[in-house]
Amino acid sequence: MLSKSQIQFVKSLKLKKFREEHNLFIAEGVKMVKELLNSAIVVKQIYATSDFFRNNIINNAIERFEIKENELERISILTTPNEVVAICEIPKHDLNIDSLMDKLTLVLDDIKDPGNLGTIIRMADWFGIETIICSTETAEIYNPKVVQATMGSISRIKVHYTDLPSFFEQQSSNKKQPIFGALLEGENIYTQPLSANGFIIIGNESKGISEMLYPIITNKISIPSFSHFTNSNGEAESLNAAVATAVICSEFRRRA
């Protein structure tokens, strides 16, 4: 049986303050935890029902706690808890802009919605984008809502938080890559030349890309609207940020 303080400890990790203090995050559900166990992420503790331990071989280095359904419900953030809660170490990745040469990298400028961030991480995994650079104001990746929305992709994608203008200043002059910015008034992405490497900047859900980043953008791109195909008055003003990111990544990759 879990002690009060154990329950409090697990629940405390729902808050950023305690995640940072302990350098730990929570992930839940059978599929998610199995992906984490098979990844470079260090799993420290597993709280799970007997079913989970019967069906999965767990490395001895991981502290394990067999718990009952009602205990799982107490520590879970899901409306339908699913066998297991894992406590994992927040990984440290070094960030060197020149190491991203020849790769396609996403840059998120203040994406605020945790669901959008999680969906973008999952989508990046599908489209083979290994690294995501986030502004310091972007939603926190270890927020449980983000972790769960990634559907396991959090174990494969490297996400960095940094001051974006300073980050781009570090580019060596001989290793300049194109920097694409998704803007409402950009060039039609379907007809614009794209490259197999470079950065794609996606702006905030309501404000778009910060003006201070405009000077570093080398290619302004835009997804054209096809609202004129319908008979209705008015038209959609924008696409959801995760949806726009996916359409852009699809367009880059389809030409590869």
Q: Which residues bind a second copy (CB under 8 A)?
A: 35, 38-40, 104, 115, 119, 122-123, 125-130, 149, 151-153, 155-157, 190, 223, 225-240, 242-243, 246-247, 250-251, 253-254, 256
Quote the crossing angle between the two packed helices 241-254 and 114-126, to the nearest 10°. 10
Q: Find all residues with CB under 8 Å of 243, minimum gap 6, and list them.
A: none
Put the strands of the sheet holding 131-134 in their side by side order.
158-161, 131-134, 104-108, 198-202, 179-188, 219-222
Minimum distance from residue 7 beta carbon to a second copy (Å): 27
Q: Measured from the CB atom, is 19 or 122 closer to a second copy?
A: 122
Minimum distance from residue 165 beta carbon to a second copy (Å): 27
Distance spanning both ends of the chain, measured CA to CA? 54
Q: Measured from the CB atom, is 50 or 240 closer to a second copy?
A: 240
Minimum distance from residue 233 beta carbon to a second copy (Å): 7
DSSP state of 90: P
Residue 252 has a CB neighbour count (10 Å cut-off) of: 20
Amino acid at 126: W
Minimum distance from residue 47 beta carbon to a second copy (Å): 23
Q: Measured from the CB atom, is 8 or 197 closer to a second copy?
A: 197
Q: Measured from the CB atom, is 173 or 206 closer to a second copy?
A: 206
Please return the burial class of 110, using the count of CB atoms within 10 Å of its CB with bins 0-12, 13-18 and 19+: buried
Minimum distance from residue 166 beta carbon to a second copy (Å): 26
Minimum distance from residue 41 beta carbon to a second copy (Å): 11
Q: Measured from the CB atom, is 213 or 242 closer to a second copy?
A: 242
Evaluate the CA torsion angle 141, 147, 150, 152 in order and state its sign.
positive
Q: Measured from the CB atom, is 44 or 253 closer to a second copy?
A: 253
Strand 24-28 to 63-66 pairing: unpaired
